[in-house]
């Protein structure tokens, strides 16, 4: 399985666990190991994971005022000119009583040398193009 692109892994602070599949819940993340057993980790202990070709890393979520709101798992999108771009999917609930109207909004964050560089929004067409991100 070492060369299989569908390999999955979880990286905690000091170890990497390889397996076949990953399930991320609200509190725990579980990996199915090669022998069929499971290993489970608290979400706050998971620094990064790869799930069937997609890489996710725990990074700071930065608001408009450039304050750190929290840390969340973000999907790696691309790297270019020393910057790395990640996507953060944020649920937006406009009406708490109507849960079916839950909408997700994607934010793109650029990091340079491991530090926050800028946040990109959908209307920044030229900035997205400079990172090689297709704008539809």
Task: Tell me the per-residue pLDDT of 39-48, one tens digit each, with 9 for 90 and over.
Answer: 999 999 999 9
Q: What is the pLDDT of residues 18-66, one digit of tens each?
A: 999 999 888 999 999 988 899 999 999 999 999 988 999 998 887 766 6
> Do residue 47 and residue 71 come from a single domain?
no
Note the pTM of the prediction, 2 decimals.
0.75
Are residues 62 and 48 part of one domain?
no
Q: How many domains does the chain have?
A: 2
Q: How far is CA 75 from the centre of its chain?
A: 3
**Whether residue 92 sits in one domain with residue 32:** no
In a domain, 76, yes or no: yes
Boundaries of domain holding 90: 58-130
pLDDT at 133 over 80: no
22 lies in some domain: yes
Task: Give per-residue pLDDT as tens, 65-115.
Answer: 666 678 888 999 888 878 888 888 876 655 555 555 556 677 888 888 878
43 and 14 fall within a common domain: yes
- 2 belongs to a structural domain: no
Distances (CA, A) of 38 to 8, 30, 33, 67, 95: 13, 7, 6, 37, 37
């Amino acid at each position: 399985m070492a060369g299989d692109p569908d390999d999955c892994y979880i990286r905690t602070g000091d170890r990497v666990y390889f397996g076949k599949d990953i399930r991320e819940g609200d509190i725990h993340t579980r990996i199915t190991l090669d022998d069929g057993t499971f290993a489970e980790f608290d979400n706050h202990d998971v620094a990064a994971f790869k799930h069937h070709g997609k890489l996710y890393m725990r990074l700071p979520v930065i608001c408009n005022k450039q304050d750190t709101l929290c840390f969340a798992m973000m999907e790696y999108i691309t790297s270019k000119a020393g910057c790395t771009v990640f996507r953060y999917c944020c649920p937006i609930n406009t009406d708490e009583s109507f849960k079916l109207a839950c909408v997700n909004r994607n934010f793109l964050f650029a990091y340079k040398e491991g530090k926050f560089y800028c946040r990109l929004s959908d209307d920044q067409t030229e900035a997205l193009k400079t990172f090689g991100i297709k704008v539809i």
